[in-house]
């Protein structure tokens, strides 16, 4: 429930803070509609479309309607996949509008005690602290290794979880041990002549649960001719905060990262998680109201590059023999990598360079898989609808491997495979892991 | 106003999942792509079949509740803005392609079908449905029929009207009628099919349509002619037609439009010329090649700085797609984009373009022009900001002048976007009192209670006709 007082506060902040020009830029042509997953899966509900959401934000800003539960519902059901942006001829920056709106709503809501506690734990307690992320991941590791997982599965306590969460439990990767996580090097030499010096953004989830993928990424960079630094004081990118209406928290993390990456002179800052990359590349927008930081943010974002882009730039795929047993491979775009970082061709070039694989494009590969941060947990119904459509398209490629470029998408695709009971014939992998395998490293 | 008992009646027809009167749902259907029009409906309803539509209409007719049928709301005349409240009627659930009949060359569709989905399905069978409004990715067939939409291929193939051969319509009293059919010939009585096309939801609700298909042309070629002079481009259009060549497409874009379109589409359009013509021809290969050569020669004679034929199909498609985004891309320049639809005989294109430019500078407003030059249908588009009231007044005056100029050149106030609410006050300029009276009589006969999309086409008051100075 939103109280009258909360509504009033939200409405007045909308009027004050929302970017009116951007709201007016939407000329309501509707070109974005056919690209919006929530619009499609909801049976073409205009209030779950980008055009509808912009109209609602504008109406609240103009004082035409109150920010009631339905407005909130419409906004919280948005995946934030930003598929509506590249197709918008008017160039409306939808993502920025959404972020601002969510921030206003959350900051002015007196959340219920459990929600508050969870939000606080996640946004202030957990994600900004790599140490704690490691601890939490170790807990999962303990669960997996100690036999608890076995017991939990056997006794059926998992069936007390909602269906898809129980399934999610099954697909979580085998996590590394704490000491493995701590043994992270800070400098790595290039293998062969040095072509570029890069800094690696290790990410919080990527550096704990997906440590193997990070290792693979580093290996690829070294092989492509990169000397690597991994700034120790870097932090979580802040995407989860930014997308959940915790803008201040996101700003704090952004500043820490900018500082951390200013320490070394590098040509590029490399990411291997589309979701993080897209948030990092938007730091200049996040910090636009703080002049000195804004400039530093621009310098930071100008250096950002996804792993697949730099590999293609350095012609890794031409210089290295990539080979795998004969199999069919398809690629699921990470929305943020594609729609915000503008990377969609490079991963395909790399995959097609692998001998032995038959690359098959799936229908609507650019459509969100429904993972979207914690969306698949908080909006599970819509998320699973979106995932079902995605799996139908995956199936029709008859792919043995679904390649992804973001941890969230990877887990979601694994979840989809598990739900469809396709596990025997299909698996999902991160592109870095596949490339390392193909390079026989 | 929809009272509780009436709501109950409507709910019993469509069920609670298909009726919504929440603020949010009403708000998102309170506007369409037309700037400056917004009004809240009382509720939104989604019928699943013709019988349900008929039942809804009967209730509305009895209780005098306005009905605004709505496709995707892409019309640019305020046609779906529920100015007098009432029900917005959606076709989201009635969006099937019912049949493609390859023997009779027809397609039977429900009104909510997206135009592009029809075109793709038809093309997959080696057939051709020519009307291709720039909004086709999102517009619905029901909307196309009711606006009589045209598109890039209109010059050679005509507009939606030329392809609608049969309709199922729910009349404002709830009666269901069938007009026309799969027949190539039918002269039984008045042509109600054609009357319905372009009626903007004011005479009845289209619930099914039979569309004519034609064989796909063998080849298509696309070229771009660049000009440093607007007049030269306009002259080329007139000369191509007077040389008895009818290309499929003959589109015009001026420089400001080119710049923004390139900014969005990034396909390497020239941005240092004053105007371009996008020209396309289709048909048997020899004919296409001959026509393209002659048109290229004509353009060069008329001082085109260069003429280039697209090498690949992908290049040609990119050019057309870019042209289709012209309007929305213009919206990048300033918050409010008001597009008009003045149409003149082809021979008068050059004069009209010149008049538009003079009117823009006379009223000190920023107008970009693009459009279907080949059929005389121009889209002077004003780039402005609705918050600047002074400027908005000048924009109104400028558009009034533009309509007047078009009519003086033997043209009309709209070539494809409909009269709607936006141009209703100008209708009399074109039709005169007697013409409007004839149309009002038709409206009265069909819809005595005036429940079908009220406030559209017919204005309470007409504008005074000003005399254009230029
Ligand atoms: C960017 C852009 C480009 C455009 N380009 C073109 C173009 O090239 N050519 C062109 O002709 N137009 C163009 N248009 C205008 C518009 O797209 C067309 O008029 C289109 O046909 C409208 O379709 P719609 O489904 O959005 O209908 P709507 O806008 O929803 O409705 C249009 C009218 O039809 C009525 N209506 C809709 N469905 C029914 C039904 N089943 N029964 C009875 N009445 C009904 C509505 O009441 C309304 O009066 C463009 C618009 C935009 C925004
Ligand atoms: S495509 Fe852009 S301008 Fe058009 S409705 Fe969507 S957001 Fe608005
Ligand atoms: S961000 Fe994605 S889900 Fe949200 S409105 Fe845009 S396309 Fe739809």
Q: Within this chain, do residues A141 and A205 fall inside the same structural domain, yes or no?
A: no
Q: Within this chain, do residues A207 and A182 fall inside the same structural domain, yes or no?
A: yes
For range B192-209, the mean pLDDT:
97
Q: Within this chain, do residues A130 and A16 fall inside the same structural domain, yes or no?
A: no
Paired residues of A197 in beta bridges: A227
**Considering CB atoms only, which of A21, A34, A64 is closest to B138?**
A34
> CATH assignment of B219-325?
3.30.70.2190
Residue nearest to atom 8 of ligand 2 (CA): A26
Q: Within this chain, do residues A240 and A342 fall inside the same structural domain, yes or no?
A: no
Shortest Cα distance, chain B CAs vs residue A382, angstroms: 17
List the domain range (segments joined by +) for residue A142: 113-171
Residues 6 or more apart whose Cβ sits within 8 Å of residue A211: A175, A176, A180, A181
**Considering CB atoms only, which of B22, B74, B337 is closest to A30?**
B74
**Model ipTM value:** 0.91
- Of A19-23, A50-54, B11-15, B27-31, the one with minimum mean pLDDT is A19-23
Spatial CA neighbour of A20 closest among A100, A134, A118: A100
- Of A373-387, B55-69, B318-332, the one with minimum mean pLDDT is B318-332
pLDDT in tens, A211-227: 889 999 999 999 999 99
Residue nearest to atom 2 of ligand 3 (CA): A81
Taking the centre of ligand 2 as the mean of its atom positions, its distance from the CA of residue A81, in whole angstroms, is: 15
Instruction: Tell me: pLDDT of B470 over 50.
Output: no
Measured from the Cα of B33, ligand 2's closest atom is: 5
Does domain B4-90 fall into CATH 3.30.43.10?
yes
Q: Within this chain, do residues A301 and A350 fall inside the same structural domain, yes or no?
A: no
Spatial CA neighbour of B141 closest among B182, B113, B165, B168: B113
Spatial CA neighbour of B221 closest among B152, B132, B313: B313
Residue A92 Cβ inside 6 Å of ligand 2? The answer reads yes
For range B218-243, the mean pLDDT:
90
**What pLDDT, on the 0 to 100 scale, is given for residue A154?**
61
Residue nearest to atom 4 of ligand 3 (CA): A78
Instruction: Tell me: pLDDT of B459 over 90.
Output: no
- Assign domain B97-215 one CATH number from 3.40.640.10, 1.20.950.20, 3.20.20.70, 3.30.465.10: 3.30.465.10
Mean pLDDT (chain B, rounded)? 92
Cβ separation A33–B135 shorter than 8 A:
no
Q: Which ligand is nearest to the CA of B202?
A: 1
Cα B135 to Cα B129, B140, B156, B324, B405, distances in angstroms: 15, 9, 19, 7, 27
Measured from the Cα of B136, ligand 1's closest atom is: 17
Q: Do domains B97-215 and B334-419 have the same CATH topology?
A: no
Taking the centre of ligand 1 as the mean of its atom positions, its distance from the CA of residue B91, in whole angstroms, is: 13
Spatial CA neighbour of A308 closest among A270, A336, A339: A270
Q: Within this chain, do residues A212 and A148 fall inside the same structural domain, yes or no?
A: no
**What pLDDT, on the 0 to 100 scale, is given for residue A175?**
65
pLDDT in tens, B368-383: 988 888 888 999 999 9
Q: Within this chain, do residues A220 and A196 fall inside the same structural domain, yes or no?
A: yes
Q: Within this chain, do residues A304 and A182 fall inside the same structural domain, yes or no?
A: yes
Q: Which of A33, A45, A78, A86 to mutate to test the pocket of ligand 3 (most atoms within 8 A of CB)?
A: A78
Q: Which ligand is nearest to the CA of A77?
A: 3
**What pLDDT, on the 0 to 100 scale, is given for residue B469?**
45
The domain boundary residue, chosen from A68, A90, A107: A107
Q: Does B331 touch chain A (CB under 8 A)?
A: yes
Residue nearest to atom 7 of ligand 3 (CA): A36
Q: Is B376 left (phi over 0), alpha (psi -120 to 50) or beta?
A: left
Q: Within this chain, do residues A131 and A73 fall inside the same structural domain, yes or no?
A: no
- Of the pLDDT bands very low, low, confident and very high (cuts 50, 70, 90), residue B62 is very high
Beta carbons within 10 angstroms of residue A135's beta carbon: 14
The CATH number of residue A26's host domain is 1.10.1060.10
Largest separation between any pair of C-alpha atoms in chain A: 65
Q: What is the DSSP letter of A122?
A: I
Pairing status of strand B43-45 against strand B87-90: parallel
pLDDT in tens, B408-422: 999 999 888 889 999
Domain count, chain A: 4
pTM, rounded to two decimals? 0.89
Check: CB of residue B350 under 8 Å from CB of residue B231.
yes
Q: Within this chain, do residues A188 and A295 fall inside the same structural domain, yes or no?
A: yes
The rounded distance, in Å, linking the Cα atoms of B355 and B235 is 15
Specify the CATH architecture of the domain B334-419: 2-Layer Sandwich (3.30)
**What pLDDT, on the 0 to 100 scale, is given for residue B348?**
87
Q: Within this chain, do residues A239 and A338 fall inside the same structural domain, yes or no?
A: no
Residue B144 Cβ inside 6 Å of ligand 1? The answer reads yes
pLDDT in single tens digits along all 441 residues of chain A: 678 888 899 999 999 999 999 999 999 999 999 999 999 999 999 999 999 999 999 999 999 999 999 999 999 999 999 999 999 988 999 999 999 999 899 888 776 665 666 666 666 655 566 666 566 565 565 656 555 566 656 655 555 555 666 666 666 666 666 666 667 778 889 898 999 999 999 887 777 778 889 999 999 999 999 999 999 888 888 888 887 778 888 999 999 999 999 988 899 999 999 888 889 999 999 999 998 899 999 999 999 999 999 999 999 999 999 999 999 999 999 999 999 999 999 999 999 999 999 999 999 999 999 998 878 888 889 999 999 999 999 999 999 999 999 988 998 999 999 999 998 889 999 999 999 999 986
Q: Where are the domains of chain B?
A: 4-90, 97-215, 219-325, 334-419
The rounded distance, in Å, linking the Cα atoms of B239 and B304 is 13
Q: Within this chain, do residues A160 and A202 fall inside the same structural domain, yes or no?
A: no
Q: Which ligand is nearest to the CA of A36?
A: 3
């Amino acid at each position: 429930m939103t109280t009258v007082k909360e509504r009033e506060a939200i409405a007045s902040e909308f009027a004050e803070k929302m970017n009116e020009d951007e709201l007016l830029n939407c000329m309501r042509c509707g070109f974005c509609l056919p690209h919006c997953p929530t619009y499609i899966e909801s049976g073409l509900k205009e209030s779950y479309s980008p055009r509808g959401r912009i109209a609602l934000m504008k109406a609240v800003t103009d004082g035409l309607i109150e920010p009631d539960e339905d407005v909130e519902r419409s906004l919280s059901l948005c995946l934030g996949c930003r598929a509506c942006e590249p197709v918008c001829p008017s160039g409306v920056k939808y993502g920025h509008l959404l972020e601002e709106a969510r921030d206003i709503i959350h900051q002015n809501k007196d959340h219920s005690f459990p929600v508050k506690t969870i939000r606080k734990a996640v946004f202030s307690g957990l994600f900004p602290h790599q140490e704690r992320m490691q601890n939490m991941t170790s807990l999962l590791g303990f669960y997996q290794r100690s036999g608890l997982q076995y017991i939990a599965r056997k006794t059926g306590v998992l069936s007390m979880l909602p269906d898809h969460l129980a399934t999610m439990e099954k697909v979580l990767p085998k996590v590394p041990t704490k000491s493995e996580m701590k043994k992270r090097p800070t400098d790595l030499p290039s293998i062969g002549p040095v072509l570029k010096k890069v800094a690696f953004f290790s990410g919080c989830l990527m550096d704990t649960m997906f440590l193997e993928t990070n290792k693979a990424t580093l290996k690829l960079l070294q092989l492509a001719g990169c000397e690597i630094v991994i700034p120790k004081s870097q932090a979580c990118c802040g995407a989860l905060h930014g997308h959940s209406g915790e803008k201040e928290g996101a700003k704090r993390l952004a500043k820490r990262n900018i500082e951390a990456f200013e320490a070394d002179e590098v040509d590029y800052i490399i990411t291997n998680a589309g979701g993080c990359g897209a948030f990092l590349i938007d730091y200049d927008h996040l910090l636009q109201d703080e002049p000195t930081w804004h400039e530093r943010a621009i310098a930071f974002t100008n250096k950002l590059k996804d792993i697949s882009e730099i590999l293609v730039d350095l012609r890794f795929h031409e210089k290295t023999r990539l080979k795998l047993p004969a199999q069919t491979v398809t690629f699921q775009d990470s929305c943020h990598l594609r729609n915000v970082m503008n990377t969609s061709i490079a991963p395909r070039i790399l995959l097609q360079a692998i001998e032995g694989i038959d690359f098959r494009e799936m229908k609507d590969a650019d459509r969100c898989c429904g993972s979207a941060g914690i969306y698949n947990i908080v909006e599970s119904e819509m998320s699973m609808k979106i995932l079902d459509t995605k799996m139908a398209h995956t199936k029709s490629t008859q792919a043995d491997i679904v390649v992804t470029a973001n941890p969230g998408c990877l887990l979601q695709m694994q979840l989809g495979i598990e739900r469809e009971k396709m596990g025997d014939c299909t698996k999902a992998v991160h592109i870095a892991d596949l490339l390392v395998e193909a390079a026989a490293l | 106003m929809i009272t509780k008992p009436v709501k109950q009646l409507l709910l019993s027809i469509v069920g609670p999942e298909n009726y919504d009167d929440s603020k949010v749902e009403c708000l998102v259907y309170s506007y369409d792509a037309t700037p400056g029009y917004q009004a809240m409906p009382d509720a939104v309803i989604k019928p699943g079949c013709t019988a349900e539509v008929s039942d809804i209409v009967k209730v509305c007719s009895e209780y005098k509740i306005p009905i605004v049928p709505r496709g995707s709301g892409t019309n640019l005349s305020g046609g779906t803005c529920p100015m007098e409240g009432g029900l917005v009627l959606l076709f989201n659930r009635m969006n099937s392609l019912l049949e493609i009949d390859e023997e009779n060359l027809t397609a039977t569709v429900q009104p909510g079908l997206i135009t592009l989905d029809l075109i793709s399905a038809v093309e997959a069978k080696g057939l051709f449905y020519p009307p291709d409004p720039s909004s086709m990715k999102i517009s619905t067939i029901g909307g196309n029929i009711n606006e009589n939409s045209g598109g890039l291929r209109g010059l050679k193939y005509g507009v939606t009207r030329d392809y609608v051969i049969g309709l199922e319509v729910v009349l404002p009293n709830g009666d269901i009628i069938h007009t026309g059919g799969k027949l190539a010939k039918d002269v039984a009585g008045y042509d109600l099919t054609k009357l319905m096309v372009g009626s903007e939801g004011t005479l009845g609700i289209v619930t099914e349509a039979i569309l004519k298909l034609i064989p796909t042309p063998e080849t298509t070629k696309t070229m771009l002619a660049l000009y440093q002079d607007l007049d030269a481009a306009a002259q080329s259009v007139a000369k191509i037609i007077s040389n008895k060549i009818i290309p499929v497409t003959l589109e015009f874009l001026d420089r400001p439009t080119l710049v923004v379109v390139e900014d969005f589409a990034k396909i390497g359009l020239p941005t240092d010329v004053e105007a371009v013509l996008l020209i396309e021809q289709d048909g048997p290969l020899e004919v296409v090649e001959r026509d393209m050569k002659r048109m290229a020669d004509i353009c060069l004679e008329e001082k085109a700085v260069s003429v280039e034929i697209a090498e690949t199909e992908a290049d040609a498609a990119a050019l057309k797609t870019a042209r289709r985004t012209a309007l929305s891309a213009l919206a990048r320049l300033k918050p409010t984009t008001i597009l008009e639809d003045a149409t003149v005989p082809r021979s008068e294109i050059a004069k009209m373009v010149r008049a538009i430019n003079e009117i823009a500078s006379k009223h000190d407003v920023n107008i970009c022009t693009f459009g279907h030059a080949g059929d005389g249908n121009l889209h002077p588009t004003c780039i402005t900001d609705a918050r600047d009231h002074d400027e908005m007044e000048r924009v109104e005056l400028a558009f009034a002048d533009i309509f007047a100029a078009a009519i003086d050149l033997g043209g009309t106030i709209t070539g494809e976007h409909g009269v709607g609410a936006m141009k209703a006050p100008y209708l009399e300029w074109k039709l005169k009192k007697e013409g409007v009276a004839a149309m009002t009589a038709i409206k009265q006969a069909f819809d005595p209670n005036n429940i079908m999309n009220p406030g559209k086409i017919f204005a309470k008051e007409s504008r005074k006709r000003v005399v254009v100075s230029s």
